[in-house]
A and B are shown apart, each in its own frame.
Chain A
């Protein structure tokens, strides 16, 4: 009998599967569950994008593309980023097409990290940054962002986390799960801290198009002197409802991109060709589709936020992404207890906040990638659940 634990990499063995996995397995197999639990859009990929994918297959465009990605797509990405976020990148050498935003994050962290280098990660945030840092031999340095600051990263928090070993800062805004965004003044303050350092910002802007503030999304790369120290990461999954196509991109200074590309080249070769053709269409013709989806999300967002607040679960207004992040502290339960009980008694699936870092404790994440009537039904059941809890207490 082989003891695989003796064979496997210690680094990977040290990355423990999340305890929440078990809860997920139960939720995913339970019958009759009404879920607010997923992190992907319910909208279908716009028709013309699907058609473009099919057309590319019919034309037998099924070979590898350039390692960096189709030139046509890189040009569209450069145009799009310039148009939307006012940052100019050279398509030939500053844009890399990746397998989802996830791969872009991974290869960027790996390209930057020497053993022992510190990567600063604000939490609560998406779960991949910490393990990816460890796999690259880096040391994650967690900043627990605060509800009182609307879960924004503050300059003080950042300053306190920086050491001589700091290599990079992950900037995950708009934020999954908190819905927090960084406005111009917030980014200016962060830029002020970083401007005289060699710290690189890995800016995960996958939810950029889903921003509900007065001003559209601002990239930190658009702030003075920040482009040279920023890798801007975005993708097609959220804005264009293209999760399964697995397509994202990284934009950054050419000398950095060239090295990031090496990892991509050896690990992946190139992003899926069909998806790249589809993505060209998405960038060219889907502005109205994206706006329509954004409006629909906005209506759902208002409904769910008001719903939670009316139920007595304090919920700040999420300004980005598609999640509400209400506090459940008033119930006296932990996030996991709350979610488990809710699942068993009312068959509503939501995600405990601590899945996104310790600082998420006391909160739950409810996704609003669901129809309005679905959200209403889930809120109704949560209301019943809270009423029963109250009755139990008395």
Chain B
């Protein structure tokens, strides 16, 4: 496992193997091997873009849904969490501490899509006792990337 490579990829998944090699100070071949090994080990799970969908026409709608779940003997929350994870509409599923048990992020094209998914799919799952849906109105930061607009960092082009 090579944490330096992971940090570089986390920051920019499109960074070339040659550049990663230069930045880390190892050969390109070693980078390829390390990445393959980390993929095989399930450490690197994918390479996705950070997209500000609000800037795209026909933008989508997302909601955060807090679920209360009755844990099952011997399985805890696993079964329900894994079941929910299999829906394509679901972007993220996390087990939480505090008032709710699972937090689910659902994405759809319209408010109605999301509402009906919650009502018809999530709410009726065996073991789910309540849902609380909060629609996301605007995103300001996603995956560590600020979406507010490209701001000038205040530095000039040249200084000594």
- Residue A192 lies at the interface, judged by CB distance under 8 Å to chain B: no
Q: How far is the CA of A321 from the CA of B23 in the complex (A)?
A: 17
Chain A min CB distance to B55 (Å)? 20
Within 8 A of A (CB), among B22-68: 22-25
- Residue B139 lies at the interface, judged by CB distance under 8 Å to chain A: no
- Residue B157 lies at the interface, judged by CB distance under 8 Å to chain A: yes
**Most chain A beta carbons < 10 A, residue from B11, B158, B159:** B158
Closest to B25 in A: A302
Q: Assess the B158–A299 pair: CB atoms within 8 A.
A: no
**Known contacts A299-B4, A376-B19: A24-B158 contact under CB 8 Å:** yes
Among candidates B23, B157, B158, B159, residue contacting A372 with C-beta atoms closer than 8 Å = B23
Question: Could you mark each residue 330-346 of chain A with 1 if its beta carbon is under 8 Å from any beta carbon of chain B, else 0?
Answer: 00000000000000000
**Known contacts A372-B8, A373-B12: A303-B157 contact under CB 8 Å:** no
Chain B min CB distance to A131 (Å)? 12
Q: Assess the B157–A302 pair: CB atoms within 8 A.
A: no
Within 8 A of A (CB), among B1-27: 4, 8, 11-12, 15-16, 19, 22-25
Q: How far is the CA of A210 from the CA of B82 in the complex (A)?
A: 47
Q: Assess the B160–A351 pair: CB atoms within 8 A.
A: yes
Q: How far is the CA of A40 from the CA of B159 in the complex (A)?
A: 8
Closest to A339 in B: B158
- Residue B155 lies at the interface, judged by CB distance under 8 Å to chain A: yes
Among candidates B4, B8, B157, residue contacting A38 with C-beta atoms closer than 8 Å = B157
Q: Assess the A27–B157 pair: CB atoms within 8 A.
A: yes
- CB contacts (< 8 Å) of B158 on chain A: these are 23-24, 27-28, 35, 37-38, 349, 351
Question: Could you mark each residue 175-204 of chain A with 1 if its beta carbon is under 8 Å from any beta carbon of chain B, else 0?
Answer: 010000000000000000000000000000
Q: Assess the A299–B23 pair: CB atoms within 8 A.
A: yes
Q: How far is the CA of A302 from the CA of B12 in the complex (A)?
A: 17
Q: How many residues of B sit at the interface, in one of the four size bands?
A: 10 to 19
Question: Could you mark each residue 110-126 of chain A with 1 if its beta carbon is under 8 Å from any beta carbon of chain B, else 0?
Answer: 00000000000000001
Q: How far is the CA of A373 from the CA of B159 in the complex (A)?
A: 21
Question: Could you mark each residue 128-157 of chain B with 1 if its beta carbon is under 8 Å from any beta carbon of chain A, else 0?
Answer: 000000000000000000000000010111
Within 8 A of B (CB), among A3-61: 23-24, 27-28, 30, 33, 35, 37-40, 42
Q: Assess the A42–B157 pair: CB atoms within 8 A.
A: no
- CB contacts (< 8 Å) of B12 on chain A: these are 372-373
Chain A min CB distance to B13 (Å)? 11
Among candidates A127, A306, A373, residue contacting B22 with C-beta atoms closer than 8 Å = A306
Among candidates B15, B16, B160, residue contacting A39 with C-beta atoms closer than 8 Å = B160
**Known contacts A303-B19, A372-B19: A40-B8 contact under CB 8 Å:** no
**Most chain A beta carbons < 10 A, residue from B4, B11, B12, B155:** B155
Within 8 A of B (CB), among A300-332: 300, 302-303, 306-307
**Known contacts A306-B22, A372-B23, A373-B15: A299-B8 contact under CB 8 Å:** yes
- CB contacts (< 8 Å) of B16 on chain A: these are 376
Q: How far is the CA of A23 from the CA of B153 in the complex (A)?
A: 21
Chain A min CB distance to B87 (Å)? 34
Q: Assess the A28–B156 pair: CB atoms within 8 A.
A: yes
- Residue A87 lies at the interface, judged by CB distance under 8 Å to chain B: no
- Residue A242 lies at the interface, judged by CB distance under 8 Å to chain B: no
- Residue A355 lies at the interface, judged by CB distance under 8 Å to chain B: yes
Chain B min CB distance to A105 (Å)? 14
Q: Assess the A307–B22 pair: CB atoms within 8 A.
A: yes
Q: Assess the A42–B159 pair: CB atoms within 8 A.
A: no
Chain B min CB distance to A184 (Å)? 24
Q: How far is the CA of A39 from the CA of B159 in the complex (A)?
A: 6
Q: Assess the A303–B22 pair: CB atoms within 8 A.
A: yes
Closest to A18 in B: B160
- CB contacts (< 8 Å) of B159 on chain A: these are 24, 37-40
- CB contacts (< 8 Å) of A127 on chain B: these are 160
Q: Assess the B157–A30 pair: CB atoms within 8 A.
A: yes
Q: Assess the B23–A300 pair: CB atoms within 8 A.
A: yes
Q: Assess the B157–A126 pair: CB atoms within 8 A.
A: no
Closest to A40 in B: B155
- CB contacts (< 8 Å) of B11 on chain A: these are 372
Q: How far is the CA of A40 from the CA of B158 in the complex (A)?
A: 10
Chain B min CB distance to A246 (Å)? 14
Q: Can you list 15 A-B pairs with a CB-CB distance of less than 8 A? A: A23-B158, A28-B157, A30-B157, A33-B157, A35-B157, A38-B156, A39-B159, A40-B159, A176-B160, A302-B24, A302-B25, A351-B158, A372-B8, A372-B11, A373-B15
Contacts A42-B153, A356-B160 aside, 19 further interface pairs with beta carbons under 8 A come to A37-B156, A37-B157, A38-B155, A38-B157, A39-B160, A40-B155, A127-B160, A176-B160, A299-B4, A299-B24, A300-B23, A302-B22, A349-B158, A372-B8, A372-B19, A372-B23, A373-B12, A373-B15, A376-B16
The 8 closest A-B pairs by CB, nearest first: A37-B158, A299-B23, A306-B22, A35-B157, A303-B22, A303-B23, A27-B158, A27-B157
